[in-house]
């Protein structure tokens, strides 16, 4: 076990978690005004209406798959009488469609961003960085899934190393040794995900943290009193003539 | 009974000149910012016409407002809460830029920098969205003064509806048609469907004055409110990614002065005052079965500010004496409830809108005059109101869910006022029978005339100040005066600062990527421009734009 392994699998994950949680709290306190989906549907709707639900619903499935794969020990599923073969077949049958939905959705969304002039003009550097890292994570994620599907049960059994390592992180006893010999593609998928998580609080992806589930429970009409809250000075609207309009005339 | 106060506006449509001053001053005050180029909190539509955004009244398409479900309960027309959440990833019904227009500016630079040549240099229109050349083909008042109405007029949803019902063509040839202006702001509804649609709960109604606002900090850009509002008076700031709407100029109102649109109205056609209403009965009133009963139901929950029980309840709810007195002097109460000449816009949307309209008599007067009749005689006017079906039906579709009787009654009151006052102006006495014919007394008619025709500023606007116990909240207004990069532009420090959340909507939270000390906050940076603090420039450029 060399120093690099210890850093990558024993130290880096905690750094990422600190950035993710700390950054999110910081942004929540500091930049409520910038906390939005930054929807681009105003400019273009037809493509978005297909691509965005495809991508997001795919994500829900992928997220579910990750939770099951990483959090549930193999011994538990075995105790339920699910063999490894059954498990992996299930994972592929569920995983590949969801994964492809995400990938396809994202490709279409990026295509739309690039080709629709209005949408492209509204794309910030932060968006671009976010898209590159998101795409990279997804490509490697789909890659390892399809790759192991082709290898059948000779494929890498991540439930024997990555999953226990992942769980060990939460016990603050990272079992770094487990990660040394996993295939390169898996390593890339995980490291790129680290990068994405570290960027998360500083991009538009924060919108995922305020998914409005409470809508189901609140009254329709909201009354609020005029005042009482202290006034702070924050980021706000941009004055006219700022970069997005008159100064970028071509 | 739960008594609440509501500021409300009434517009007397006969007095609107269609000058658009209100729109322009409102824009200068509120929406002259990046991302709001196409946003008109106040717009003035020529009717018949498509409105802004195009055909917003077609709720079969836009699904704004409420409907009654099978159980007779109110439900958002766009669907229940589950449906809204399941379709949140791309809003199924959402107006596009093409339904408004692509905002533009002109390349004026070319006028002075074009090289010498035979041709006159022109300032080409440039899109404010892409920065590229653009063709201008629509705007917020493209069909102003019936311009192009012979082409587009048949697409007016109300024209279509009337035509369907009467199988008659409304003519759009000049001289044969009628026309009036309809200025529109947010209705500050009692039962707002924008608010009900907001997944984040960021839109709220102020308990003190009923003004409906979007909390810019809590809005997450889900845009359901834009679908939800049947009047399309919530707009999407495509730069900040948040919803914005008319604020009823609340910082001005809190100081007892009218909105910018009312203050600057050239026709002096706007009235602002207080209603006291029974908040407990709003849902019930908005749920009456028949669309045509909604106007009466809405009028019903407006309480009599002289009724001792209402006053007692109001005080119990913490409404101040000065507000109760304002409600008693309220011009809007007189117009809407006492004389019943002001009607809500599209009551059938069931949002209980609080901007009311005195429908215009002028289309009828104009038609009479054109045919060479005396447009001030009571018989002529009454006869015309009864026989000119199309203008009356059109007004009824706007203001009473199609009930022409109510509109006819209002128009006759206005006609009676005209006839009654003519006698007085000509040195005679007002004929009491004219007043009686519309169920009023001569005295009432005269008072109505005073308010409608010659009232002064403080009669048209009866606005109690916000209570100064809360005065510290008003200080917020101060910072809008502090310019970019001024001392007011320093940000709270996230960790060492108080961390207190700013007031819901902050008129003064202008910001700029550059801070007063010249440094750049990287998360505020939109990726455009080259702030010097980030890219030190040895060639000596100026600070980032
Ligand atoms: C359940 C929580 C989430 C909800 C409700 C949600 C909703 C939305 C909405 C409404 C948009 C705006 C689409 C538009 O009008 O332009 C959006 C955009 C986006 N979301 Fe989400 N989202 C969620 C979670 C996520 C997650 C977990 C990710 C990424 C890992 C994500 C990535 C994106 C991206 C990349 C866009 C930009 C699409 C584009 O315009 O190119 N979202 N989301
Ligand atoms: S008119 Fe104003 S208060 Fe009423 S639903 Fe629309 S935005 Fe909301
Ligand atoms: S300023 Fe007054 S008269 Fe002029 S368009 Fe506006 S409402 Fe009508």
The domain that holds A90 is classified in CATH as 1.20.950.20
* Ligand 1 mutation target, pool A36, A53, A56, A213, most atoms within 8 A of CB: A56
**Residue A128 banded pLDDT, cuts 50, 70, 90:** very high
Q: Is A62 in the pocket of ligand 1 (CB under 6 A)?
A: no
Comparing C-alpha atoms, which of B200, B156, B208 is closest to residue B182?
Answer: B156
Q: Is residue B278 within 8 Å of residue B1, measured between CB atoms?
A: yes
A127, A59: one domain: yes
Q: Is B194 in the pocket of ligand 2 (CB under 6 A)?
A: yes
Q: Which one-letter DSSP state was computed for residue B280?
A: G
pLDDT higher for A68 or B167? A68
Residue position matching structure tokens 């990614």: B241
**pLDDT computed for residue B52 by the predictor:** 94
**pLDDT computed for residue B514 by the predictor:** 46
Cα(B27) to centroid of ligand 3, in Å? 14
**Which positions ≥6 away from A238 have C-beta within 8 Å?**
A244, B33, B34, B35, B239, B240, B510, B511, B512, B526
A143, A189: one domain: yes
A116, A145: one domain: yes
Q: Which helix (H) or strand (E) holds A231?
A: none
Beta carbons of B90 and A122 less than 8 Å apart? no
- A24 vs B: CB within 8 A: no
Interior CA angle at A16 toward A15 and A19, to 5°?
90
**pLDDT computed for residue B469 by the predictor:** 54
* Ligand 3 mutation target, pool B13, B20, B21, most atoms within 8 A of CB: B21
Where do the H-state alpha helices sit in B400-543? 404-425, 432-437, 442-449, 457-460, 471-474
**pLDDT computed for residue A240 by the predictor:** 57
Which residues from A are below 8 Å from B223, CB to CB? 39, 41
Q: Is residue B10 within 8 Å of residue B262, measured between CB atoms?
A: no
**pLDDT computed for residue B466 by the predictor:** 85
A149, A240: one domain: no
**pLDDT computed for residue A235 by the predictor:** 63
A238, A186: one domain: no
**Residue A87 banded pLDDT, cuts 50, 70, 90:** confident
Ligand nearest to the CA of B204: 2
The number of beta carbons lying within 10 Å of the beta carbon of residue B490 is: 13
Comparing C-alpha atoms, which of B454, B372, B449 is closest to residue B418?
Answer: B449
Taken in order of first residue, the domains within chain B and their CATH numbers are 272-460 (3.30.70), 511-545 (no CATH)
Domain of residue A232, residue span: 219-250
Instruction: Report helix, strand or coil for A207.
Output: helix
The pLDDT of A221-240, averaged and rounded, is 67
- Residue of chain B nearest A233, judged by CA positions: B491
Distance of residue B130 Cα from the nearest chain A Cα, in angstroms = 5
Here the ipTM equals 0.87
What is the end-to-end Cα distance of chain A in Å, rounded?
56
- Which residue of A23, A114, A116, A237 to mutate against B (max B Cβ within 10 Å)? A237
A117, A210: one domain: yes
Question: Cα B358 from chain centroid?
Answer: 15
Average per-residue pLDDT in chain A?
A: 88
B491 closest CB neighbour out of A34, A207, A234 = A234
Ligand 3 pocket (Cβ < 6 Å) reads B 16-22, 44, 181, 183, 265-267, 269
Task: Please give the sequence-ordered ranges of beta strands (E in DSSP) within B48-155, or none if there are none.
Answer: 66-68, 74-76, 104-106, 125-127
**pLDDT computed for residue B218 by the predictor:** 93
Task: Please check the confidence at residue A63 and state whether its pLDDT lies above 90.
Answer: yes
Write out the two tokens for B473.
Answer: 């909240």
Comparing C-alpha atoms, which of B94, B25, B87 is closest to residue B56?
Answer: B94
Q: What pTM was computed for the model?
A: 0.86
Write out the two tokens for B96.
Answer: 């596009």
A54, A137: one domain: yes
A167, A241: one domain: no
State the Cα–Cα distance between residues B346 and B47, nearest whole angstrom: 14
Longest dimension (CA), chain A: 66
State the Cα–Cα distance between residues A230 and A237, nearest whole angstrom: 19
Instruction: Report helix, strand or coil for B50.
Output: coil
Query: What is the number of structural domains in chain A?
Result: 2
**Residue A11 banded pLDDT, cuts 50, 70, 90:** very high
A147, A240: one domain: no
The number of beta carbons lying within 10 Å of the beta carbon of residue B299 is: 17
Q: Which helix (H) or strand (E) holds B205?
A: strand B203-206
Which residues from A are below 8 Å from B189, CB to CB? none
Beta carbons of A202 and B523 less than 8 Å apart? yes
Is A66 annotated as a binding-site member?
yes
State the Cα–Cα distance between residues A98 and A89, nearest whole angstrom: 14
State the Cα–Cα distance between residues B315 and B318, nearest whole angstrom: 5
What is the end-to-end Cα distance of chain B in Å, rounded?
55
Comparing C-alpha atoms, which of B170, B133, B128 is closest to residue B33?
Answer: B128
Q: How many CA atoms lie within 13 A of A119 on its CB side?
A: 21
Reply yes or no: is the peptide bond before residue B522 cis, omega within 30 of 0.
no
A137, A227: one domain: no
Q: What are phi and psi of A98, to 5 degrees?
A: -65, -45
**pLDDT computed for residue A84 by the predictor:** 80
A248, A178: one domain: no
Beta carbons of B205 and A224 less than 8 Å apart? yes
Q: Is residue A130 within 8 Å of residue A202, measured between CB atoms?
A: no
**pLDDT computed for residue A247 by the predictor:** 43
**pLDDT computed for residue B154 by the predictor:** 81
Q: Is residue B503 within 8 Å of residue B213, measured between CB atoms?
A: no
Residue-level pLDDT, tens digit, chain B, 545 residues: 999 999 999 999 999 999 999 999 999 999 999 899 999 999 999 999 999 999 999 999 999 999 999 999 999 999 999 999 999 999 999 999 999 999 999 999 999 999 998 989 999 999 999 999 999 999 999 999 888 777 787 888 998 888 777 666 666 655 567 889 999 999 999 999 999 999 999 999 999 999 999 999 999 999 999 999 999 999 999 999 999 999 999 999 999 999 999 999 999 999 999 999 999 999 999 999 999 999 999 999 999 999 999 999 999 999 999 999 999 999 999 999 999 999 999 999 999 999 999 999 998 898 888 888 898 899 999 999 988 888 899 999 999 999 999 999 999 999 999 999 999 999 888 899 999 999 999 999 999 999 999 999 999 999 999 875 544 444 444 333 333 333 333 333 333 333 344 433 333 333 334 455 566 655 555 566 666 777 766 665 444 44
**pLDDT computed for residue B161 by the predictor:** 85
Comparing C-alpha atoms, which of B52, B70, B47, B72 is closest to residue B62?
Answer: B52
Write out the two tokens for B308.
Answer: 């001792």
A130, A231: one domain: no
**pLDDT computed for residue A120 by the predictor:** 95
**Which positions ≥6 away from A241 have C-beta within 8 Å?**
A247, B34, B545
State the Cα–Cα distance between residues B113 and B116, nearest whole angstrom: 9
Distance of residue A250 Cα from the nearest chain B Cα, in angstroms = 5
């Amino acid at each position: 076990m060399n120093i690099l392994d210890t850093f990558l699998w024993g130290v880096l994950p905690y750094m990422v978690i600190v950035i993710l949680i700390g950054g999110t709290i910081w942004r929540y306190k500091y930049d409520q005004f910038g906390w939005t989906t930054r929807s681009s549907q105003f400019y273009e709707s037809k493509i978005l209406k297909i691509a965005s639900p495809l991508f997001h619903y795919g994500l829900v499935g992928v997220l579910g798959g990750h939770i099951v794969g990483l959090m549930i020990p193999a011994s538990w599923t075995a105790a339920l009488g699910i063999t490894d073969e059954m498990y992996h077949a299930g994972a592929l049958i569920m995983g590949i469609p969801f994964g492809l939905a995400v990938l396809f959705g994202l490709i279409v969304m990026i295509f739309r961003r690039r080709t629709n002039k209005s949408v492209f003009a509204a794309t910030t550097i932060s968006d671009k960085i976010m898209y590159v890292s998101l795409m990279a994570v997804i490509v490697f994620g789909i890659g390892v899934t399809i790759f192991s599907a082709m290898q059948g049960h000779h494929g890498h059994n991540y439930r024997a190393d990555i999953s226990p390592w992942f769980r060990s992180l939460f016990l603050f006893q990272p079992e770094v040794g487990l990660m040394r010999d996993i295939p390169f593609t898996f390593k890339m998928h995980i490291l790129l995900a680290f990068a994405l998580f570290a960027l998360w609080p500083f991009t538009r992806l924060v919108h995922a943290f305020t998914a409005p589930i409470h809508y189901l429970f609140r009254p329709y009409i909201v009354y609020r009193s005029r005042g009482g809250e202290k006034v702070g000075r924050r980021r706000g609207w941009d004055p006219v003539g700022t970069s997005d309009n008159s100064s970028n005339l071509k | 009974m739960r008594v609440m106060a509501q500021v409300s506006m009434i517009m007397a449509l006969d007095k609107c000149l269609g000058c658009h001053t209100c729109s322009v001053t409102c824009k200068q005050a509120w929406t002259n910012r990046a991302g709001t180029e196409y946003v008109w909190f106040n717009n003035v539509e020529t009717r018949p016409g498509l409105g802004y955004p195009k055909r917003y009244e077609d709720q079969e398409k836009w699904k704004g407002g409420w409907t009654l479900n099978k159980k007779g309960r109110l439900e958002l027309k766009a669907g229940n809460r589950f449906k809204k959440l399941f379709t949140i990833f791309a809003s199924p019904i959402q107006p596009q830029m093409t339904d408004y227009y692509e905002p533009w500016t002109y390349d004026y630079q070319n006028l002075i920098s074009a090289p010498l040549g035979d041709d006159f240099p022109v300032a080409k229109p440039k899109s404010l969205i892409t920065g590229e050349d653009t063709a201008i083909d629509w705007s917020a008042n493209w069909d102003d003064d019936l311009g192009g109405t012979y082409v587009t007029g048949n697409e007016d949803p109300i024209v279509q509806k009337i035509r369907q019902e009467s199988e008659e063509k409304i003519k759009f040839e000049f001289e044969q048609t009628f026309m009036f202006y309809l200025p529109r702001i947010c209705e500050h509804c009692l039962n707002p469907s924008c608010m009900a649609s907001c997944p984040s709960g960021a839109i709220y109604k102020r308990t003190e004055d009923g003004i409906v606002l979007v909390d810019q900090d809590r809005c997450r850009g889900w845009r359901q409110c834009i679908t939800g509002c049947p009047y399309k008076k919530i707009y999407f700031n495509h730069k900040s990614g948040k919803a914005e709407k008319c604020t009823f100029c609340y910082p001005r109102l809190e100081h007892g002065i009218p909105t910018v649109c009312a203050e600057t109205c050239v026709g002096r056609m706007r009235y602002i005052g207080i209603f006291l209403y029974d908040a407990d009965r709003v849902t019930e009133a908005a749920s009456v079965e028949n669309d045509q009963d909604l106007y009466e139901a809405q009028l019903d929950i407006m309480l009599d500010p002289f009724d001792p029980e209402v006053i007692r309840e109001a005080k119990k709810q913490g409404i101040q004496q000065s507000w109760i007195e304002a409600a008693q002097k309220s011009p809007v109460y007189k117009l809407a409830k006492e004389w019943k000449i002001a009607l809500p816009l599209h009551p059938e949307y069931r949002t209980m809108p609080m901007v009311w309209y005195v429908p215009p008599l002028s289309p009828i007067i104009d038609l009479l005059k054109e045919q060479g009749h005396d447009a001030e005689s009571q018989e002529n006017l009454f006869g015309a109101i009864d026989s000119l079906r199309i203008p009356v039906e059109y007004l009824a579709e706007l203001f009473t869910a199609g009930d022409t009787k109510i509109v006819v009654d209002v128009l006759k009151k206005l006609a009676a006022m005209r006839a009654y006052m003519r006698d007085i102006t000509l040195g005679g006495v007002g004929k009491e029978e004219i007043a009686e014919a519309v169920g009023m007394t001569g005295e009432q008619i005269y008072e109505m005339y005073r308010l409608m025709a010659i009232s002064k500023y403080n009669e048209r606007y009866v606005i109690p100040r916000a209570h100064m116990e809360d005065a510290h909240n008003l200080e917020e207004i101060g910072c809008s005066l502090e310019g970019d990069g001024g001392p007011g532009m320093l940000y709270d420090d996230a960790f060492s600062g108080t961390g207190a959340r700013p007031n819901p909507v902050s008129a003064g939270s202008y910001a700029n990527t550059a801070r007063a000390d010249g440094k750049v906050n990287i998360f505020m940076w939109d990726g455009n421009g080259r702030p010097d603090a980030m890219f030190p420039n040895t060639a000596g450029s100026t600070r980032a734009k």
